[in-house]
Structure formats: structure tokens, C-alpha cells
Structure 1
């Protein structure tokens, strides 16, 4: 096989990418669970991973004898496959309000690679978290149950909240219980249609308007006057603001740490000491 051209070479960081040769890896396209638009995912290392493009300014990669000057890379992070299955289960119930097997449900994705999700769903056993299950002739059949979905989403949000509170990041240490709960719900909401976000917020007893922090961040609209009435901020939007602040703080800390050990490029081209 001919060596790929530099323009075709990309850096991918994800679970299972460094495993032994021959390990199954599949890049697949599935509907985004929130928007329904096609999105790219990676099946590797025994899990489903979402793919995000990241590019830092003034950076390059050395790959073999090539230089990738744009410095971009694909970051793959694990995602719960049930989140991607939820809109498919809804579609299956809307079209035929009957129990269906996993193959029929996955066909709702209208993607030739959707059947590969079966490998990370434990043969369908995980669907019991979202569905009523019936067995007949050694085959399992599923139908979405809204109450089970809300209970599962609530548990996921509580787990995310516990992980955030255990995080060493200073961005979460100053947040009260309500703010952390809204933040966790906002993270989960990135994978949910609006009606599920609303039901999750209700289950978590989040208020329609979160109380303002003691030291609120500067308003995004610099042209507005302080006396103007601010629009209602729902828990999802508040969580997005918190997420942006946390990412900025983490990025600044990382850059400062990296810069402390760097040498100027010109130092590599100066005259050698006698």
C-alpha cells in the first residue's frame, strides 16, 4: 500500500487506537442524538467514542518523516451508546407502537454501519434501562418507556454531578449544589432533545431561573446597559456558561504550565559555546 499523502494524514487520539494490529476499529456515521444531523463516531477499544476536531494555534505534528503543519487532531472520547439509541427508540415507537428487536431499532438510524452498535450494547441487555422488555422464542423485544428514561437520565446526571464534585478542578469547588446539578444536567443535555432536557430538569427539581452567583461573569453583550433586564437563564444555558468558564480556566492553566518549560525557537539556532 502506498504511503498516504501528508494532506491525508491525521492525528487521532482515542481509546484502542494504540492496541495491537488487527484490533477492530470502525469509523461510523450516526445521527447526532440532539440535532439529528450526521455525526462521526469511532468504535474501538470496546466502546463507542465521539469524535471532535481540535486545533491549537501555532502548532504542528511530526508523523514519521512528515510534518502536519495545521497542528489539528481528532480527539475521541467515550460516550454512552444508549444516548444515541434514545432517538431511534422514539422513532421506532412513533412509527409502530409495538415491541421490536434490536436489529429493527438500529435500522431506524438509516446508516449502513448502525448495526455495529450491537457490539457495545451487550447484545441488547442495556436497553432494559430505557425500555420494557419481552422475550419470545429466545429473542428479546423492546419498547421505549418514558418513566424508565427519566429515571435513567436522572441517575446519569447524579453520577456526573458526583464526578464533578470529586474533580480537583478549582472551577467546581466554588459552585453550590444547585449550580453543580445544573452543570451536570447541561452536560447531559448536549446529547438530548429539548423535551428530554425539560423532563430531566423537572426530575432534578431545577428552577426555571437559577440564582445569580455572588460574582457573576461579565455579560457577553458588551453593548447592553447594566440597568437592562436580562433574559431568563434556564439551567441548560447556565450550565453552558459554567462549562465555558471551566474550559477557559483549565486551558489557561495548561498553557501556563507548558510555557514554563519551553525554550525560545531562536535558542536552537544560536552559536554553540566554544
Structure 2
């Protein structure tokens, strides 16, 4: 009788392969802190997920895992059984702060200093978001502000937020068109397939696709409000399944199961390729 072996990913590894911009590991001459892995709320689901701050927490990056079953890495003279590829991409920290602004509005409903809004006993590293470059200069897009005695106070503004998200959707639509990404009605928002567009593709398809992408970074309730703001009609019938030529691999936010934070105090072994660096994260 044949038996099926379970995927070896159950074994906790001491190294992973990660693709990240060179800026993540290029440390300046004088620096207080290097790159830091940390757990934060996923702004869409509220669940714990893995993120990365670069040097001195100037830029936030989200960490996603691309994986297929039964894949491994050959690293030097060893076999890395965990065949996942971790992808690190820049993320607007305002999406993360927005999660706390909405939470504070529901619980307090008043103006507060930012450091009293972005506070979390379960995820104390959330305070690092306030160090991100230019974050405070963009808060006016999603908040009302007051200044009392040289101290600023903030309060979530839903109307401003929807206008800001509308601009994000417009930017995404432009990028989709430039990249010639297929956004037809048979394509789901989690799948990118480049190629010629069908004749049935409408502007609404681009907007709906972009809305789906942006919705991965905002709470469900706000996503529904954004759809109404964009005047997207509700889908009356279920769409047919996309073609089977879609990729089998899945990529999604890395849930905080593995202890990647143990690499915060060690050097990263780096092999650079063009403008991105595949990193071998291992314990020294």
C-alpha cells in the first residue's frame, strides 16, 4: 500500500531564501539599527503577519511567500528542504497606521497624539511605523489634525481616506495598463497574466481589478465603502472560473509562524543579482 509523505515544511528551518531590494541590506556607514523582521497586524485581516523594516526603520516592507509542493533549494553542499521563496516588497506604512486610526475612531472617537493611537500590547513593534520616512507628512490624507501647544493630535476621517484610496486606485489602473496586465472578467484579482487584452475589457474591469488589489491592504468594511465610492456595480452573476493555465504556486503574506525575528541580530549572507538581492538567511 502506497503512503504519501507529508511536505517537509513542517520541520522548522534555520535558513530561508529571500529576494529583497539591495537597499534592505546596504547599511550606511553610521547606523543605529539594521534590518528588522517583526510581526504586525495584517491591515486587511487583522491577523499576525511578517514584515521587515530596513535600516533605522525608514522603510516598511511586506514579506510574502511563493511556494509549490515538494520544492527544495540546493545551497552550497546542503539541501534546503523548505523550498519557499520569500519576497520582500516596499509597502506604504500609511496602510498600517490606517488600521490603528480606524480602531481608535471606533473605540475613542476623539483627537489623540499619534503615539497613543499606534500602540498595541500584542504587537509592540508597531511603534516603529512612526519612524518611517515622510509618514507624518502624509497623515493629512486620512485624518483631521489639530495642534495644541506645539503637539499634534489626529482623528480618522473616512471621507479623506476614500479620496486617498481613490487616488491609489487610479495609480494602480495606470500601472496595470502600462504593464499590459490582463484584467478581463475571467481573471481574478490575485492572478497576474501579461498579454494582449480581450476586446471585452472595459474601464470598469481595470477599476474593479485595482480595487481588489488595494482591498488586500484595508479592512473589509472600508473595502466595501470604497467600492461604493468608486460606483462599482455589484456583480449580479458569478463569473466563470479563469483558465487552468494560471500558476499553481501561491503567494501571500507570511503568517507569523516561523521565528524569522531571530535573524535581526545577525549578518545576512548575500548574493546580489542586479537591483535585487537573493538573501540566504541563516544562523551563524
Q: When the two structures are superposed, what TM-score results if normalisation uses the length of structure 2?
A: 0.68
Query: Is the 1:165–1:172 Cα contact (8 Å) retained in structure 2?
Result: no
Match of 1:132 among 139, 144, 147: 144
Cα RMSD (Å):
3.0
Distance 2:244 2:78 in 1: 36
Give me the whole-angstrom Cα distance separating, in 2, the residues matched to 1:172 and 1:158: 21
Q: Which has the higher helix share?
A: 1
**CA pair 160-147 structure 1, distance change in 2 beyond 3 A:** same
The Cα shift of 1:14 comes to 1.8
Q: 1:130 to 1:172 in 2, by over 3 A?
A: farther
Please name the residue that 1:14 is paired with: 20
Distance 1:73 1:127, change over 3 A: same
Gaps of 5+ in 1: 1-5, 220-240, 252-274
**Structure 1 Cα separation of the partners of residues 233 and 135 of structure 2:** 39
Partner of 1:89: 101
Of the two, which has the highest radius of gyration? 1
1:60–1:68 contact (8 Å) kept in structure 2: yes
- Asked if residue 36 in structure 1 is aligned to residue 46 in structure 2, the reply is yes
Taking structure 1 as reference, are residues 58 and 81 closer, same or farther at Cα in structure 2, changes over 3 Å only? same
Q: Does 1:114 align with 2:144?
A: no
SS at match of 2:119: helix
TM-superposition CA deviations, 1:137-161 (whole Å, max 9, x none): 2221110011001101111111111
Residues 87-127 of structure 1: per-residue CA shift (max 9 Å, x gap): 21011122222211121111147411111111215252221
CA distance in 2, matches of 1:247, 1:125: 40
- Listed as ranges, the gaps of 5+ residues in structure 2 are 1-11, 182-193, 251-284
Q: CA deviation at 1:245?
A: 8.0
Cross-structure match for 2:115 = 103
Deviation at 1:178, TM superposition (A): 0.9
Of the two structures, which has the highest relative contact order with CA contacts closer than 8 Å and spacing of 6 or more? 2
Distance in 1 separating the partners of 2:236 and 2:230: 13
Structure 1 pair 70–249 and aligned structure 2 pair: CA distance change class (3 A): closer
Post-superposition shift, 1:172?
6.8
- Please identify which structure carries the higher strand content: 2
Could you tell me whether the CA contact under 8 Å between 1:171 and 1:245 is conserved in 2?
no
The alignment covers a number of residue pairs equal to 219
Alpha-carbon spacing, 1:87–1:195, altered in 2? closer, same or farther (3 Å): same
Q: Name the counterpart of 1:76.
A: 88
- Paired with 2:75 and 2:214, the residues of 1 have a C-alpha distance of 35
Aligned counterpart in structure 2 of residue 178 of structure 1, from 199, 204, 212: 204
Q: CA shift at 1:80, angstroms?
A: 1.5
- Which of 59, 62, 81 is 1:50 aligned to? 62
Counterpart contact for 1:32–1:38, Cα < 8 Å? yes
1:1-274 equivalences under 5 Å are 7-15=13-21, 16-20=23-27, 24-44=34-54, 46-57=58-69, 59-108=71-120, 110-120=122-132, 122=134, 124-169=136-181, 170-171=194-195, 173-174=197-198, 175-209=201-235, 217=240, 219=241, 248=247
TM-score normalised by the chain length of structure 1: 0.70
Bigger CA drift: 146-155 or 48-57? Answer: 48-57
Distance 1:36 1:82 in 2: 15
- C-alpha displacement of 1:20: 3.5
